[in-house]
Amino acid sequence: MIRPHSSHRLLDRVFQILFPGLLLLLLNGCASAGYYSQLVGGQLQLLQAREPIDQVIADPARDTQLKAYLAQARKARAFASDHLHLPDNQSYRLYADIGRPFVVWNVFATPEFSLAPLNHCFPIAGCVAYRGYYSQGAARGEAALQRLQGMDVAIGGVEAYSTLGWFNDPILSSMMHWGDERLATLIFHELAHQRFYVKDDTEFNESFATFVEQEGTRQWRASRGLAPDNGKQVRQRDQFIQLILDTRQRLEKLYTLPLSAEQMRQRKAAEFERLRADYVEMRDTQWAGDKRYDAWVYAPLNNARLLPFGLYDQWVPAFAALFKQEGGNWIAFYAVVEKLGKLPIEERKAALKVLAEPKTSAD
């Protein structure tokens, strides 16, 4: 049996052997070469920084707060496999100090008068609505190039991501400012991606992982004898997301109108001002002035900044209904999710829509 420490070292060596060949298969010119080279280099650096959590905790020279944090993470990781039936591997049983606030920076882009994202397709993950960079400077450079082409652009820092089981993903130093519970939710979410993933369907993948995260967290709290979360933050988040989705819907209708570019810009700006006004009213009348989303709302707004919203939540009610339908049995739930994932995308969306519809007492 290979010990965890030896196992991740072996994966590093495999990565070093295989990925130069993979890189050659992926490249299509200098721009692609530069982009894929930084992906390979960034992932390799991450793998080399890993060390077993048990080793960190046992080291008397390591920071006591870090060790306490990782000890809690270790418990959540065991719960994920033992109770949620998520993959039982070395992912999130390793730790990596990356020395920066984010592991990657994602660049989102849309046309000026469209909410259709500029998609990028990859052999493993399929097509996604962003490009990721391990360097903030490189992300800013890509954003500048897109702006020169007249695109709406946004950059978002990412504190963690999943390699979908290709490698043993570590807990990162970029997560160290999180509370214990948020780290647990991240572990549940990312392991759900390893449990099941469909290429080219971000809404399905993220909604599935978000449901596993939410239900897993509820069960994790119960297992420790904690009272159920009062849901205040979740309700505020859901209300805020709905505000964004309503704005997106109005913009989508606006962009179909036969207006001049100048008229379209004025109407577009008015919609973003309406978003801010609606937010302030909701914040002050329903949230007792809680300003948790102020920084986001008062930063410059454009189409690209709206892209991530809805991707993580659209089908959560459908997965919740499916979990209830399967009697709260995780294994049975995953089996049906896998069947859904094998359907053609339009049939899959139709099935999820039926699941998400509120059931009447007659049903």
d(CA 191, CA 161): 10
The mean per-residue pLDDT over the stretch 169-188 comes to: 89
Task: List, as one string, the DSSP characters of 276-308.
Answer: HHHHHHHHHHHSTT--TTHHHHHS---HHHHTT
Query: Would you give the DSSP letter of residue 340?
Result: H
Mean pLDDT (the chain, rounded): 88
Q: What is the pTM of this model?
A: 0.82
Q: Describe the strand order of the beta sheet including 104-110 as a list of residue ranges.
A: 131-133, 104-110, 152-158
Least confident of 83-87, 156-160, 254-258, 334-338: 156-160
d(CA 25, CA 23): 5
Helix, strand, or coil (residue 110): strand
The mean per-residue pLDDT over the stretch 333-357 comes to: 96
pLDDT band at residue 100, thresholds of 50, 70 and 90? very high
Please name the residue that has the structure tokens 């973003």. Answer: 272
Residue 124: the pLDDT is 61
The mean per-residue pLDDT over the stretch 10-35 comes to: 50
H-run or E-run covering 133: strand 131-133
Least confident of 156-160, 196-200, 270-274, 307-311: 307-311
Residue 161: the pLDDT is 83
d(CA 175, CA 91): 15
- Between residues 361 and 262, the one the model is more confident about: 262
Decide if pLDDT at 145 tops 60: yes
pLDDT band at residue 348, thresholds of 50, 70 and 90? very high
The mean per-residue pLDDT over the stretch 97-104 comes to: 93
Decide if pLDDT at 260 tops 70: yes
Helices (H), the chain: 4-26, 30-48, 53-58, 64-82, 136-148, 180-195, 202-223, 232-254, 261-286, 294-298, 303-306, 316-325, 330-341, 345-356
Helix, strand, or coil (residue 181): helix
Residue 17: the pLDDT is 43
Return the biggest CA–CA distance within the chain.
Answer: 68
Please name the residue that has the structure tokens 């049995």. Answer: 329
Residue 123: the pLDDT is 65
Decide if pLDDT at 360 tops 70: no
Decide if pLDDT at 1 tops 50: no
H-run or E-run covering 128: strand 126-128
Least confident of 121-125, 173-177, 358-362: 358-362
Residue 13: the pLDDT is 46
pLDDT band at residue 311, thresholds of 50, 70 and 90? low
Residue 232: the pLDDT is 80
Closest CA to 125 of 92, 164, 155, 158: 164
Residue 229: the pLDDT is 74
Q: Using a pLDDT cut of 70, give the percent of the chain over it.
A: 88
